[in-house]
Structure 1
Amino acid sequence: MESSTSGALTPGPPATELDSGALRLMGAIADTGSITAAAQRLGLSQPAASQQLKRLERRLGMPAVERVGRGVRLTEAGLILARHAKTVDRALHAAVDEVAALAGLRSGRVRLAAFPSASSTLVPELLARLAAEYPGIGVTYLEAEPPEAVAAVRAGEADVAITFSYPGDPEDPHRESAVGLSVHELGPDPMRVILPAGHRVAGAGSVPLHELRDEQWIAGCPRCRGHLLGLCRGSGFEPTITHETDNVIAVTALVGAGLGVALLPSLALAAAPLPDGVVARPTDNADDRALHLVSTSHAQHVPAVAALLRIAAHLPSTARMTDDV
């Protein structure tokens, strides 16, 4: 038997506690013209549907249905709710589909940050592999030096950062700046001495830095300059720095012109091949810089971000790009 929901109801303020279940019930009643049939469609018992309807009407402060013969019909308030029920139902189904797509990596977005020399070496291969495995994942990219990239992850402006650190760097952003973040070493980025091909030590397998104590040096960014100073001082001399530029092509051109020697990471050299008359040689110092992946501690729980981290951690190009230089 249909339950009657007519009777005195205390007028109340506009409802702010409507739930999707109540709206779906109104939509089913509109379609079937019956509380019993609506309950069956939704997998509810008739008493449970009637109780849900009564709670809804109490929240509304007005009836949502009225009896007509052996059935019921919606009041004006009920018609409004039924109309919105279809919109809510579509939105719920869309939300479920989108979450399922994320879990299945058919969609999602990752915000990546990395330093300049990674932009033309590691990043293109990483994004190509991600696109090949998960074409539905979108990526936005920010080029930033390690301190700014770590700060972007902490501020929620990036999901993952590819960074580097030098051994013994007192301003290493992976220390205090990265507390609470997840930092994993990606691999080494060997440092190379850049020399004119005719230099007296250019034919050596590796170059002791103290052999270059009397040379003029070309330095790079402030952190790279600091690393160079530390290495040279550790080898017993203060380098004479005559030129400074962040432009790797300019550095190698200056070396080719006989204006000095330089120390550059292998990824930078992979991004800008050496000109004729210039060679790169390893040093005999333990001076390789390390590459890192930085993310939030919960990044592994975000499917798209976890996919990028997994691919980045297994990039064979890390070793290949540094070993081929």
Structure 2
Amino acid sequence: MRIHAEELLTFLAVAEAGGVGAGAQILRRSQPAVSERLRALQAAVGEPLYQRAGRGIRLTAAGESLLPYARRLREGLGEVENWSARRHALQEGSLRIAASNTVANYFLMEHLARFRGRYPGVQLQLRTGPLTDNLPLSAWDLLFTEEQIERSGLPPHMELEAWREDELVAILPQDHPWVRAGRGWVRWEEVLAEPIVWREPYSGIRRRVEAAIVRAGLRARYSVEVTGVEALRDAVAAGLGIGFASVEALDKVRWPLASLRLDPPHGLFWTLYLMRPQADFQSRAVRAFLDLLATPD
């Protein structure tokens, strides 16, 4: 027969209290309920665990042999309770985040630093880089992406939402003739007449710009291609061509470059997306980080 933890803990309380009635008081259970658990435990063991001795009890040899196991069970449950309390207080736990390079570098780092300051016991794991098709989405608690993911491509317990919107602009050296002329925007036809420094093909910014050029009925020119944000900055600063970046990123890094709006008069905007667990599947660490994202600095 199966032995249940409640039966062992009941036996331990009665054994240490020296009687069924005293054990029932410690457990805050009725004496009949305690006696029923003891009978079930003895039936599962197959032999008596105690004998009545006056108003108390005396353990049999089997009861004495079982006692250390019951104490280890109580210690183990105490450790589990302490573990649960630490997680409740976010003194331990984990948070696994995947994000594209642009999102990680210019939109997430300050939030991660705030989270680390508040909850230093939570282990952070951040994966940056291209979010390729073979990325196991279910292996991450949160995913920040520049692309919308179809519902059929999401794990069943996950949902996707628009997280924030930002503007994309052309970046160019400060001594460029357009900058010296005091211009604030530039048309696609003018951009495409200039050399362009493109990010790598899987860059979300590049895909947005390419799509906008197609919508304008034009054709992109490919003259220079670099990998990474820093390489883009250095290439544009060196005069290799015009690049593209997000306004919020430029505000944070303070590059020695100028920027002009694209696609006047409306500008070119992009949406960043957040994949997160549905509410019932969110860990405490995930909920805390989402609350932090929604709270101004």
TM-score by length of 2: 0.83
Match of 1:265 among 232, 240, 246: 246
Q: Among the aligned pairs, what percent are the same residue?
A: 27
| 3-state DSSP of counterpart to 1:93 | helix
Q: Distance in 2 between matches of 1:81 and 1:195?
A: 78
CA deviation profile, 1:149-194 (whole Å, cap 9, x unmatched): 9x54x42x111122223xxxxxx43554237532232222321202
Q: Distance in 2 between matches of 1:70 and 1:179?
A: 61
Does residue 1:305 correspond to 2:286, yes or no?
yes
Q: Distance in 2 between matches of 1:21 and 1:117?
A: 53
Amino acid at match of 1:240: R
* Matching residue of 1:211: 190
Does residue 1:194 correspond to 2:171, yes or no?
yes
CA contact (8 A) 1:210 1:235 kept: no
Q: How many corresponding residue pairs?
A: 290
Does residue 1:173 correspond to 2:149, yes or no?
yes
- Mark the CA change 1:255 to 1:175 in structure 2 (over 3 Å): closer, same or farther: farther
CA deviation profile, 1:198-255 (whole Å, cap 9, x unmatched): 3332331112222222222221122444333222233343222111112222223222
CA contact (8 A) 1:121 1:270 kept: no
- Mark the CA change 1:56 to 1:195 in structure 2 (over 3 Å): closer, same or farther: same
Does residue 1:123 correspond to 2:102, yes or no?
no
Amino acid at match of 2:210: L
Between 259-268 and 204-213, the greater mean CA deviation after superposition: 259-268
Matches within 5 A, 1:216-255: 216-224=195-203, 225-255=206-236
Match of 2:29 among 44, 67, 71: 44
- Mark the CA change 1:218 to 1:130 in structure 2 (over 3 Å): closer, same or farther: same
CA contact (8 A) 2:107 2:249 kept: no
Question: Gaps (5+ residues) in structure 2?
Answer: none
CA contact (8 A) 2:15 2:59 kept: yes
* Matching residue of 1:65: 50
Does residue 1:159 correspond to 2:141, yes or no?
yes
- Mark the CA change 1:233 to 1:39 in structure 2 (over 3 Å): closer, same or farther: closer
- TM-superposed CA distance for 1:44, in Å, is 3.0
Q: Distance in 1 between matches of 2:237 and 2:36?
A: 86
CA deviation profile, 1:105-133 (whole Å, cap 9, x unmatched): 44432212222133333332112222344
Matches within 5 A, 1:78-157: 78-147=63-132, 151-152=135-136, 154-155=137-138, 157=139
Does residue 1:22 correspond to 2:7, yes or no?
yes
Q: Distance in 1 between matches of 2:290 and 2:282?
A: 11
* Matching residue of 1:12: none
- Mark the CA change 1:280 to 1:229 in structure 2 (over 3 Å): closer, same or farther: same
User: What's the C-alpha RMSD, in Å, of the aligned pairs?
Assistant: 2.9
- TM-superposed CA distance for 1:62, in Å, is 1.7
Amino acid at match of 1:177: G
Q: Distance in 1 between matches of 2:152 and 2:294?
A: 23
Amino acid at match of 1:309: L
CA deviation profile, 1:33-86 (whole Å, cap 9, x unmatched): 323322232223333322221111111112212345664322233223321222
Amino acid at match of 1:120: N
Q: Distance in 2 between matches of 1:31 and 1:54?
A: 17
- TM-superposed CA distance for 1:146, in Å, is 4.1
CA contact (8 A) 2:261 2:268 kept: no
TM-score by length of 1: 0.77
- Mark the CA change 1:92 to 1:74 in structure 2 (over 3 Å): closer, same or farther: same
Amino acid at match of 1:205: G
Q: Distance in 2 between matches of 1:226 and 1:161?
A: 19
Q: Distance in 1 between matches of 2:278 and 2:74?
A: 35
CA contact (8 A) 1:22 1:53 kept: yes
Between 132-141 and 252-261, the greater mean CA deviation after superposition: 132-141
| 3-state DSSP of counterpart to 1:121 | helix
Does residue 1:282 correspond to 2:250, yes or no?
no
- TM-superposed CA distance for 1:26, in Å, is 2.0
Q: Distance in 2 between matches of 1:66 and 1:72?
A: 5
- TM-superposed CA distance for 1:280, in Å, is 1.9
